[in-house]
């Protein structure tokens, strides 16, 4: 196994930028107020770019808990890397709406102890990003006021404990059906992922795609689902599939079948001989697979 990955022939897509990147962007271009409540549809890429300086906003990932992307940083509690306080105020505004409910800008400002102007700027930025919605509210006489509230997309920003949920669900499955049922669950999961990757390869690659091309596509899929997947090809043609993160680490330690299912998955979807050379669950820095033609 190589200590460093060669720059040449490294194939992978970047992970979709996490929400932390969006919330850490100082300032943000505020959106012009609209006279009516915004649509419930997701914002356009242009609107996202205007709010977060070109960073793509992630509206969610795979709903399957066992495949859900692992969030390595919580944007609501991670200190801002920038010199400004905009991202901190942005998080405070989100928390204020979450804990206190819908509110006008001056009410939010009171909750977070900031100026109305600063809070309104953050509310407009968050609205442009599709994280808050704005509506008109009438209270007695006088002009109606704008009230802000969180959208469903904002739920992804708050702490979640899916790892514990997964563990408890698997424990319940084992209690009901023993290890046999656990095996069947992971077998079903493997078949689901196999079908997804197989469809992706068939859709994106020609029928006569090389093993290297297929490995690159699998690495891309693994990267997108939280495994920090990479594919490398050495000068001598040796192909490796790397996973620098285990997105199901909390499960793989207890249920060894999860890792066995992954090894089998790669062999089947690539129609190749797959040998695991390094293993995160066993203390390695990555899960590394040597990929060879099936007849080798």
Q: Which fold has domain 19-157?
A: Arc Repressor Mutant, subunit A (1.10.10)
d(CA 137, CA 143): 9
- Residues of the chain within CATH 1.10.10.10 domain(s) are 19-157
- Quick: pLDDT tens for 100-114: 999 999 999 999 999
In this structure, whether the domain defined by 162-293 belongs to CATH 3.40.1050.10 is answered with no
Map tokens 């995160």 to a residue.
280
Provide the whole-model pTM.
Answer: 0.58
Residue 287 and residue 246 in contact, taking contact as beta carbons nearer than 8 Å: yes
Instruction: DSSP letter for 11, please.
Output: B
Residue 291 and residue 215 in contact, taking contact as beta carbons nearer than 8 Å: yes
Instruction: DSSP letter for 161, please.
Output: -
- Residues of the chain within CATH 3.30.1380.20 domain(s) are 162-293
Q: How confident is the model at residue 43 (pLDDT cuts 50, 70, 90)?
A: very low
Classify strands 239-243 and 272-278 as parallel, antiparallel or unpaired.
unpaired
- Quick: pLDDT tens for 69-104: 323 323 443 333 343 456 788 889 999 999 899 999
Query: Integer distance in angstroms from the first to the last C-alpha of the chain?
Result: 19
> What confidence score (pLDDT) does residue 140 get?
66
- Quick: pLDDT tens for 159-207: 777 778 888 999 999 999 999 999 999 999 999 999 999 999 999 999 9
3-class DSSP state of 100: helix
Task: Give the closest residue to 66 by CA, choosing from 188, 152, 154, 235.
Answer: 188
- Which of 52-61, 79-88, 147-156, 231-240 shows the lowest mean pLDDT across its residues? 52-61
């Amino acid at each position: 196994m190589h200590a460093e990955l060669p720059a040449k022939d490294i194939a992978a897509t970047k992970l979709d930028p996490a929400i932390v990147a969006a919330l850490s962007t100082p300032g943000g271009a505020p959106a012009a107020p609209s006279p009516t409540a915004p649509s419930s549809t997701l914002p356009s890429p242009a609107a996202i770019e205007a709010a977060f300086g070109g960073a793509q906003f992630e509206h969610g990932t795979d709903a399957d808990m066992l495949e859900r992307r692992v969030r390595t940083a919580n944007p609501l509690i991670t200190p801002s890397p920038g010199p400004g306080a905009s991202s901190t105020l942005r998080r405070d505004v989100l928390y204020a709406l979450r804990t206190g409910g819908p509110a006008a800008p001056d009410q939010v400002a009171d909750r977070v102890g900031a100026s109305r102007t600063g809070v309104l700027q953050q509310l407009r930025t968050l609205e442009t990003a599709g994280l808050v919605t704005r509506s008109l509210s009438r209270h007695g006489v006088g002009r109606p006021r704008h009230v802000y509230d969180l959208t469903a997309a904002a739920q992804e920003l708050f702490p979640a404990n899916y790892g514990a949920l997964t563990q408890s669900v698997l424990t319940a499955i084992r209690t009901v059906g023993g290890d046999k049922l656990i095996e069947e669950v992971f077998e079903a999961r493997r078949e689901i992922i196999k079908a997804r990757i197989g469809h992706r390869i068939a859709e994106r690659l020609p029928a006569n795609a090389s093993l290297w091309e297929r490995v690159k596509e699998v690495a891309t899929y693994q990267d997108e689902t939280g495994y920090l997947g990479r594919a490398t090809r050495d000068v001598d043609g040796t192909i490796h599939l790397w996973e620098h993160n285990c997105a199901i680490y909390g499960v793989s330690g207890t249920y060894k079948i999860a890792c066995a299912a992954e090894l089998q998955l790669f062999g089947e979807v690539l129609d190749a001989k797959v040998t695991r050379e390094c293993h995160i669950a066993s203390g390695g820095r990555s899960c590394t697979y040597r990929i060879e033609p099936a007849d080798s």
